[in-house]
Structure 1
Amino acid sequence: MLQIDAWKRVMILMTVAVGLLLAMPNAFYTRVEMHNDAQIAMERTGVSTPELEQQAALWPSYLPSSLVNLGLDLRGGAHLLAEVQVNQVLDARMVSFWPEVRDALRATGTIGSIERLGVENGEMRIRLNDNPDRMEEAIGVVRGLSRQTISLTGVPVSDIDVRSEGAILIISVSEAERTASSERTMAQSREIIERRINEVGTREPNIQRQGDDRILIQVPGIGSAQELKDLIGTTAKLTFNHVVSSTSDPNARARIGQIVLPSLDQPGTFYILRESPVVTGEDLVDSQPSFDQNGQAAVSFRFNASGGAKFGQYTAENVGLPFAIVLDGEVISAPRINDAILGGSGIITGNFTVEESVQLAVLLRAGALPAELTWLEERTVGPDLGQDSIDAGRIACIVAFIAVLVFMFLSYGTFGMFANIALIINVGLIFGLLSLIGATLTLPGIAGIVLTIGMAVDANVLIFERIKEELKSAKGPARAIELGYEKALSAILDANVTTFITALILFVMGSGPVRGFAITLGLGIITSVFTAIYVTRLFVVMWFEFRRPKTIEV
């Protein structure tokens, strides 16, 4: 029997209403964007000016304010492709390792004079001047300085390889550690770049790793590529501060010379710290995930000579007390000092998983870019070009939309009108979902919407043609409509599921514009199936209940 339960009708209508409500802010894009920017500015600074309040009042706070973000090709902005010089990290590590090697070899008393010849590509060469016949002893001493570190598979491995060539002792970063170090360097570089860009409130930057040592950076709405380069070059602020106390009161007041900062790993906790840091991130040489003496995941760190001396004196005077690691105004960790940390290196222990120790190591080193960035490609997309792209995409959507509407009306009459109304709702639902997930719309994304408009009526065509076939079998209109929807369902699902799988593969395997196309195509398939199976059927049922026709013509 041709009917839809009352609760199903309510759910369908509510889904459509919510989707169109989420899409509504995009019809007032400039006004809503100014409202959002004003709200963000007031929350970040804590200061409310008349101008910001006026902009915030442009859009009611009780209405949704999420927008479909415009990509670089639509909004204009800057595009950079950077190559990270990962070998610099390996070289710096060997250079910082040299004093430890030198002191250990001299402490034997039998190896005699040694000389560092150079460091290149993560490899340090040392000549044994006096006693080259003591090479095996020297290799054993250096191997004793190696540390267990975490490989990409999570298995502990040695961080160095030691061998000899005649009287030359060669110390190099192990292959497993070289790979892991490269991964950490790239993760750290991307983390720093993203932090720097997000700090200025830029909307929806696209920061992706490409290949082994390259990072693609696209930032809509920024003036020029040089401006973006200057922004990325800014160093994040990392400090090590003395902890006075902790509190759960976000409005706690600090004395003169003290500051109150929130905890990153313990939400709701605030630390009162001495304003003057003990050591800054400029003194940090290295930070890596490792294991403590009990085999638990931990994080090791190393300062330069100056930072090591200051940190050693501080820890010797504050055994048993916590110290805070502060990054960009947030306490990322507050470990307790168990012993004096002398020699410029130490270890942070806690209930870390392997993943958490890797993440903390990245955050510790996020105070400065770990290696130099070489700019391989840079360009600026002007807002005029972006506006041209928007205009061209709008024209394409309108032409496709009108063509489909006219075709459906001429082909199926009243039923075609139902399909056309569902098509309009379908486009609104697509923009509602894009706004809800905070997706970025690019030119390929517009192409996906245009394609969806053409595909959206496919399901209706299958249904209507099936109804026509059932009418030819001398069945009544109600039964013909019911059978038309039932028998077309399998074909609709098969066609759309295969297309959705294609969109999913494009999203997983692709990047940038390809993923933008995949997102709009995939969401369009979901909304198209929903409007075809449920919305048009609801319209047809309501029309049939109202008109009670003896015969119908599709």
Structure 2
Amino acid sequence: MLRIRLWQVIVVVLICAASVLFALPNLFSQKSLGESYPDWLPSQQVNLGLDLQGGSHLLLEVQIEQVLIERIEALVDDVRTALRGERIGYTGLKRRGLKVVFQLTTLENRDAAYDLLSDLDREVQVESNDGGAFELFLTEGAVVERKSSALSQSIEIIRRRIDETGVSEPTIQRQGEDRILVQLPGLDDPERLKRLLGKTAKMSFHLVDQTVTASDLARGRLPPGTMKLPSDDEVDDNGNPRFYPIRKRVMVSGDSLVDSQPTFQDNQAVVNFRFDTSGAKKFGRVTQENVGRPFAIVLDGKVISAPVIREAILGGSGVISGNFTTQTARDLALLLRAGALPAPMKILEERTVGPDLGADSIEAGKIASLIGLAAVIIFMLLYYGLFGIVADIALIFNLIIILGLLSILQATLTLPGIAGIVLTIGMAVDANVLIFERIREEVKGGRSPISAMEAGYKRAFTTIFDSNLTTLIAAVILYLFGSGPVQGFAVTLGIGIVTSMFTAMVMSRYILVWWLKRFRPKTLPI
């Protein structure tokens, strides 16, 4: 244990020097780093979490049942098309809850209809009775798969939307079967972000049904395949939203969009969009076949605009106009670029932490860390003398290495993370205490200084390793199964365990071995 090679000393010195360089930027403000800090030195700082930097905490619920309803409504159209194709008579075809129901007009076609619909979709289960009544619904496996897919897709789209806003180090995590936790440190406009996350941003293009009169529209007397949708910003003479008779058939889906950008047209904010190859062909064909007809752009169940098609648009791009401000045009373009959420979102919980409260938490954490550090340093100095000084040096470097690693890994430091560092301060000297007490016992047993130190480090190693390993396993479990603050605590605790092993078993040993060989004392001052 006391034989140390030169290359080992060089490695330890390099690790300590690198830790100092990477930890150093945390002593400066962002402004100082940008103005006077040397460019050739590392400049990454530890990221502060929501509770230290301030920001927003949102708990969102995905309305997953809406995904299933949309799938069943699409199944209604598939059933209608299939039955009409085989000329099988039916009546009362509709969605009832999460089922498609209808009644055959003649029982002779019961077996043919059953075989036809059974092959319609492997996700769909078909049931019928002797009276010719049919029910179609999704299998249990299909429901579970669609729910999981909707939640995963929602997380990805939320991440894209947040990334577009420029918020750094967001935390986006799944919670349970239908909830998403979003934490955004340093966010200065939480209301805007709530609007962005609350919008489904499902855009589609529909033809306006020109056969419906204004009186029929007001009374809700609409032909099959037509729906009544409100305008997003237009109102009538009474101040009520204007309504449009919109054909249900989606002519072009917003899923085909590949880009959207805010721009200006005739001094008015608009959104320019572009389709992929498939979407461009559909868009070109629809506009070519319907010149002179209104073409509605529908976003989340509201008509943004319904311009008349003047000529065929074959380039695969277009412009969305409306009563947009510069900010709303920018937000709409962002939403369309990020993609539509598969289901609406509901904000269940919202918390906002101000930067002043975060600054108070940082100050309290600093005070707690300094008090803990000072208490441990004084205790080790009084109780172990020279050996205590060596342990204190190792403890200070332990904190520097932790800070350097957090900066390198760009880990997020939270208030529980500071608690983990304070705990590490106490744990860091545990190994030294075990070693020093073991050396004392060996000295009392009559061993020479070199022999006592050799035996002390060798016999204490197993105990130190086992105790730190069990604590490290606990930290890993906390990180894997915890969330948010618990993970922050686990990160600093885990890093602290590893660095304390290094400083106690390597750094302090190297210093004591150097002192022992340099001064060759006859007794150990311990």
* Fold equivalence (TM over 0.5): yes
Matched, 1:182 2:157: no
Describe the shift of the 1:519–1:114 C-alpha distance in structure 2 as closer, same or farther (beyond 3 A): same
Would you say the 8 A contact 2:200–2:343 is kept in 1? no
Which 5+ residue runs of structure 2 have no aligned equivalent?
Answer: 205-250, 258-274, 287-335
Aligned ranges 1:139-538 → 2 under 5 Å: 139-146=114-121, 158-165=122-129, 166-223=131-188, 225-233=190-198, 282=254, 310=282, 367-538=339-510
How far apart, in 1, do the equivalents of 2:166 and 2:36 lie?
20
Would you say the 8 A contact 1:281–1:368 is kept in 2? no
Query: Which residue identity is paired with 2:47?
Result: N
Match for residue 8 of structure 1? Answer: 8
How far apart, in 1, do the equivalents of 2:92 and 2:337 lie?
31
How far apart, in 2, do the equivalents of 1:207 and 1:215 lie?
7
Which 5+ residue runs of structure 1 have no aligned equivalent?
Answer: 36-54, 147-157, 240-278, 286-302, 315-363
Aligned residues: 411
TM-score (normalizing by structure 2): 0.73
Question: Deviation of residue 225 (structure 1)?
Answer: 3.9
Greater C-alpha Rg: 2
Query: Which residue identity is paired with 2:443?
Result: L
Measured against aligned partners, the alpha-carbon deviations of 1:284-327 in whole angstroms (never above 9, x if no partner) come to 69xxxxxxxxxxxxxxxxx9xx969817959xxxxxxxxxxxxx
Describe the shift of the 1:178–1:484 C-alpha distance in structure 2 as closer, same or farther (beyond 3 A): same
Would you say the 8 A contact 2:391–2:508 is kept in 1? yes
Would you say the 8 A contact 1:105–1:138 is kept in 2? yes
Describe the shift of the 1:381–1:421 C-alpha distance in structure 2 as closer, same or farther (beyond 3 A): same
Match for residue 258 of structure 1? Answer: none
Describe the shift of the 1:102–1:221 C-alpha distance in structure 2 as closer, same or farther (beyond 3 A): same
Measured against aligned partners, the alpha-carbon deviations of 1:14-38 in whole angstroms (never above 9, x if no partner) come to 1222222222221224337xx6xxx
Would you say the 8 A contact 2:475–2:493 is kept in 1? yes
Would you say the 8 A contact 2:56–2:190 is kept in 1? yes
Describe the shift of the 1:390–1:450 C-alpha distance in structure 2 as closer, same or farther (beyond 3 A): same
Question: Deviation of residue 92 (structure 1)?
Answer: 1.0
Measured against aligned partners, the alpha-carbon deviations of 1:110-165 in whole angstroms (never above 9, x if no partner) come to x21433222523x222333x22452332221122221xxxxxxxxxxx32111125
How far apart, in 2, do the equivalents of 1:9 and 1:207 lie?
43
Q: Percent same amino acid among aligned pairs? A: 49
Q: Secondary structure at the match of 2:187?
A: coil
Would you say the 8 A contact 1:91–1:119 is kept in 2? no
How far apart, in 1, do the equivalents of 2:42 and 2:253 lie?
41
How far apart, in 2, do the equivalents of 1:421 and 1:227 lie?
49
Q: Secondary structure at the match of 1:15?
A: helix
Question: Deviation of residue 544 (structure 1)?
Answer: 2.0
How far apart, in 1, do the equivalents of 2:338 and 2:253 lie?
9
Describe the shift of the 1:14–1:238 C-alpha distance in structure 2 as closer, same or farther (beyond 3 A): farther
Query: Which residue identity is paired with 2:100?
Result: M
Would you say the 8 A contact 1:72–1:219 is kept in 2? yes
Would you say the 8 A contact 1:225–1:378 is kept in 2? no
Measured against aligned partners, the alpha-carbon deviations of 1:309-355 in whole angstroms (never above 9, x if no partner) come to 817959xxxxxxxxxxxxxxxxxxxxxxxxxxxxxxxxxxxxxxxxx
Matched, 1:125 2:101: yes
Match for residue 216 of structure 2? Answer: none
Question: Deviation of residue 550 (structure 1)?
Answer: 2.2
Q: Secondary structure at the match of 1:161?
A: strand
How far apart, in 1, do the equivalents of 2:117 and 2:61 lie?
33
Quote the RMSD (CA, aligned, Å): 2.7
Would you say the 8 A contact 1:19–1:429 is kept in 2? yes
Question: Deviation of residue 280 (structure 1)?
Answer: 7.2
Q: Secondary structure at the match of 2:477?
A: helix
How far apart, in 1, do the equivalents of 2:185 and 2:463 lie?
41
Query: Which residue identity is paired with 1:425?
Result: F
Question: Deviation of residue 65 (structure 1)?
Answer: 2.5
Match for residue 326 of structure 1? Answer: none
Question: Deviation of residue 448 (structure 1)?
Answer: 0.6
Describe the shift of the 1:198–1:234 C-alpha distance in structure 2 as closer, same or farther (beyond 3 A): farther
How far apart, in 1, do the equivalents of 2:50 and 2:255 lie?
37
